[in-house]
Every structure is written in C-alpha cells, then in structure tokens.
Amino acid sequence: MILSLFTAPENADAPPPAAEGAAEAAADVVAAVSQAPLPPVETAHPWALPTAASTFAEDTDNLYLFITALDTLFFVLIMGAMGYFMWKYRRRSKDQKTSSITHSGVIEFLWSAIPTVLLLVIFVWGECDFVRQSVAPADPLEVRVTGQKWYWTVEYPKYPGVSLNSSTEEPALTLMVPKGKPVRLTMTSTDVIHSFFVPAFRVKRDVVPGRYTQIWFEATRIGEFNLFCTEYCGDFHSNMTGVVKVLEPDDFERELIKAGVLTQDEGESMAAYGERIYKRRGCVACHSVDGVDGTGPSWKGMYGRTESLSDGSSVKAEDQYIKDSIYEPNKQVVAGFAPQMPSYQGQLDESQVTAVIEYIKTLK
C-alpha cells in the first residue's frame, strides 16, 4: 500500500492501450498537447514517479523504492532516537548528572557493519541494472540523434529522408519508436554538451560534441512522453524539449514517414512550405518572425535590408546572402551576433532553401 504512493496508477494521465482505440487516444493527446507547452509528466501526484514506459523503468523503480524504504527506516530510527533523547534527557535542573559512557565497541561495530552490508547490496543492484542498460541486444532499431542549441534532430538510417526536429516554440514530435522493439540511439552534438533525458523511460545520456554516445531502451507503453535536455547549454536550455511518441509496431513505419518526410504538399505555396520548414527544421529556435532578435536576427523585414556585418562590411540580405547564410552560416555574420549557427549543408536541399527564402519574403 505504501509503495503505491510512489508509483503512478497504471492509467493516470496516460492514453489507454491501443486495443481500446488508439485513434481516439491519439486525438486526445494531440488536443492536450496543443494547450500545454509539453505533454503532462506522467505522474498522478507529486509523490509519484513518472509512468513507467520502458523495460528499464520497472527495475530502476524497484531499486528507487527499495532505497526509499530503507532511507525512511533509517531516518525514522535516527530521528526517533534523537527525539526520544531530546525529551527524556532534556535539562531539568542545572546540575543534572549525565552518563560517563564514551564509546562502545559492539555498538560501533554494528552501526558500521550493517550500513556497509546494505550499501553493498544497493551498489550491486544498481550496478547490475546499469550494465544491462549499457549493452543493447542484437539488431535494434538504429536511430541517430543530433543535439544543437536548442533543438534535437532525429534521423533513421533505415528510413532515408526521414527527419524529426524538436522546436523551442511548441511541443514537437521529436522521436518516434515502436512499442516492444529495442531501439538504440547513437548521439552526438554539433556545438556544446547536451543531455538526452526521457523520464518515462528512465534513460539519460550526455550528448557530447566530437564523440558518439549511445543509449538503448525498449518502450512498453503506447503514448507521448517528455524529452528534456538536462545538460545546461545556454539561453534556451529549458526550451530544448520534445515529445517522444511510442506507436504500435504496425503503425510505426507509416506514421514515421508521414511525420518525418518534409515535402511540398500538393497545392501548397512555396512560402507556406517554407514556413513549415522554418518550424520543423529548427530555424525557429533562434530566428523570430515578430521583429524581436533572438540568438540570430529576426526574419521580420529582413529581406532586402542592408545588413552591416561583424567584419565591418555590409551586404544586402537577398537570395544569395540568405542561401550562403544557410549553408555557410558563420562566414558573414551580422554585427552584434555571435557566430554560432550550424550549417544546413546536406540537411536542406535547393528547393527547401528556395521555400525558406520565399517565406522570408512574406515577412515584411
């Protein structure tokens, strides 16, 4: 009964299993997301752990609850003894006699040995689970994750052309995985250290520039879950969040391609396509469209303006300059901004760059 205090009830705030109607559940979640900056953290109350949505979660939670129980026991014992002594041996008279006891070999041995044994148990338990989390089973679904200020890019080697991005403005679908299949993330960063954290999966690993780090997990629940960056990475560290979606294996491929391939819809204008690219490919993280400069210059009224650059020269912000700035962003930096934009070479093709330029033209 006490343990249930610490674990979220099975269905609290999480969509019901697919068997009970996945389509309805998905619609509910989407509605909820559009109101809140993030999907709710899957806890029933402040004392609960997030919903367990991976095979690791249960193991980690069991150890968490074991330590909680043990800590509570020891805290109650220590405070109980202290409280009792405070009451029993409070000073009643000024010359109250006190005991001459100074030490006790037996007691000191016991209170050294018992914690040592308990701590060893906790160490081995945590170590075994950790080792299991370190080695992915054979043939997992491979996913590439790139962190950069302040969004995530997720690609799937098995599905070329598919790319998902988080957004600093809204909760955006960032990672899609099938339920019940091991997934291995190979992660790196293009700028500073980030950290990839999905509380519902109980996984976290730093994303380090210049090297690859890996985590793997197997999702066990259909639903949408939070993704947080947990290594401080600058101004909008707290906006470097995203949504992880777990789907039925049968739906996974279809939904992934639908969400991850960015192409111009039939009848869609170039500018509208450009706006979608702006939101989905991370431009929104640094460039506003309302005239307020962020990490980069706002796009409002930018097209056709003469910009002074940090090297003292100036340039007219037209097609050529915009395209150059997308592919080689740190060559001609507008004065007053730091050269920290990553290159989009290989990430946006010619027609997508054109669409972005068309979109910028509309922002007068």
Instruction: List CB contacts of 67: < 8 A, sequence separation 6 or more.
Output: 122
Contact letters (x/-) for another protein, 116-155, by CB under 8 A? x--xx-xx-xxx-xxx-xx---------------------
Q: Is 82 in the site for another protein (CB under 8 A)?
A: yes
Q: Is 308 in the site for another protein (CB under 8 A)?
A: no
What is the residue whose two structure tokens read 């050294």? 112
User: Is 230 or 269 the residue whose CB approaches another protein more closely?
Assistant: 230
CA–CA dist 58, 49 (Å, integer): 11
CB 319 within 8 A of CB 357: yes
User: Is 203 or 353 the residue whose CB approaches another protein more closely?
Assistant: 203
Q: Is 321 in the site for another protein (CB under 8 A)?
A: no
Q: Is 311 in the site for another protein (CB under 8 A)?
A: no
Closest CA to 179 of 90, 278, 251: 251
* Beta strands 141-148; 151-155: pairing state: antiparallel
Which of the ranges 40-48, 275-283, 307-315, 346-354 carries the binding residues for another protein, by CB under 8 A?
Answer: 40-48
Q: Is 205 in the site for another protein (CB under 8 A)?
A: yes
Q: Is 170 in the site for another protein (CB under 8 A)?
A: no
Which of the ranges 138-146, 228-236, 270-278, 350-358 carries the binding residues for another protein, by CB under 8 A?
Answer: 228-236
Exactly one of 7, 43, 148, 352 binds another protein (CB under 8 A); that residue is 43
CA–CA dist 262, 113 (Å, integer): 62
What the block records as the tokens of 1 is 């009964």
Q: Is 106 in the site for another protein (CB under 8 A)?
A: no
* Nearest distance from C-beta of residue 272 to another protein, angstroms: 28
Q: Is 299 in the site for another protein (CB under 8 A)?
A: no
Q: DSSP readout, 166-220?
A: --SSS--EEEEEETTSEEEEEEEESSS-EEEEEGGGTEEEEE-BTS-EEEEEEB-
